[in-house]
């Protein structure tokens, strides 16, 4: 890292939380991580919380997370085993090896392991919120009705668990 990069990186990130919404907003429910992150941003007014959106996974996420103390990842999950809108949460420490949580997170654990080996400034805590979805293949710029109806309760769940 050169001196310009060091100077441009705020020193306050070490105490900050990043809420990172993952997904693709043109594939119906696949955008739920981004939509929930936007709703959280409208509700949470804390100077130590940052919000970002990403349509990528794995190694690309390392740069977005670097320097933050805590990261909250929000993404779509399609297991077909629970009701649409069900929220599953886990700490990254509970995942070993690859995860079948969602296609954006399949290589997350491996990417973090690589980041550690590269001595990157990675978060001390990473919480993952997987939201059960109905349709991630149909082109559409909004969630299905079943998932849209659940968005307020999903947002409340995350606020109560992470910010109260």
**CATH number reported for the structural domain that contains residue 73 in this entry:** 3.40.50.1450
pTM above 0.85, yes or no: no
Name the band, by pLDDT with cuts 50, 70 and 90, for residue 87.
Answer: very high
Name the band, by pLDDT with cuts 50, 70 and 90, for residue 95.
Answer: low
Per-chain mean pLDDT for the chain: 84
Encode pLDDT of 39-85 as tens digits.
999 999 999 999 999 998 777 888 899 999 999 999 999 999 999 99
Query: What Rg value do the Cα atoms of the chain yield, rounded?
Result: 16
* 149 is a domain residue: yes
The residues facing 49 across adjacent strands are 17
Give the number of domains in the chain.
1
Dihedral sign, CA of 120, 65, 22, 94? positive
Parent domain of 151: 13-158
User: What one-character-per-residue DSSP string does 63-130 give?
Assistant: HHHTT-SEEEEEEEE--SSS-TT-EEEEEGGG--S---S-TTTTTHHHHHHHHHHTT----SEEEEEE
Encode pLDDT of 137-146 as tens digits.
999 999 999 9
* 1 is a domain residue: no
* 81 is a domain residue: yes
N-term to C-term CA, the chain: 37
Name the band, by pLDDT with cuts 50, 70 and 90, for residue 105.
Answer: very low
Q: Maximum Cα–Cα distance for the chain, whole Å?
A: 50
Dihedral sign, CA of 11, 12, 13, 15? positive
* 6 is a domain residue: no
Name the band, by pLDDT with cuts 50, 70 and 90, for residue 6.
Answer: very low
* 125 is a domain residue: yes
The residues facing 73 across adjacent strands are 20, 128
Give the pLDDT confidence score for residue 118 in this predicted structure: 83
């Amino acid at each position: 890292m050169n001196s310009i990069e060091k100077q441009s990186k705020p020193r306050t990130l070490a105490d900050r939380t990043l809420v990172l919404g993952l997904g693709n907003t043109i594939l119906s429910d696949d955008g739920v991580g981004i939509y929930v992150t936007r709703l959280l941003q409208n509700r949470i007014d804390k100077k130590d919380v940052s919000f970002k959106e990403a349509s990528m996974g794995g190694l690309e996420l390392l740069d977005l997370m670097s320097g933050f103390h805590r990261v909250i990842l929000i993404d779509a999950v399609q297991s077909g085993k629970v009701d649409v809108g069900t929220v599953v949460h886990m700490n990254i420490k509970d995942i070993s090896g690859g995860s079948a949580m969602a296609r954006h997170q399949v290589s997350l654990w491996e990417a973090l392991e690589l980041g550690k080996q590269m001595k990157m400034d990675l978060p001390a805590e990473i919480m993952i919120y997987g939201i059960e979805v109905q349709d991630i293949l149909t082109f559409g710029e909004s969630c299905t009705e079943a998932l849209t109806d659940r968005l307020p309760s999903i947002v409340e769940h995350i606020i109560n668990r992470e910010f109260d």
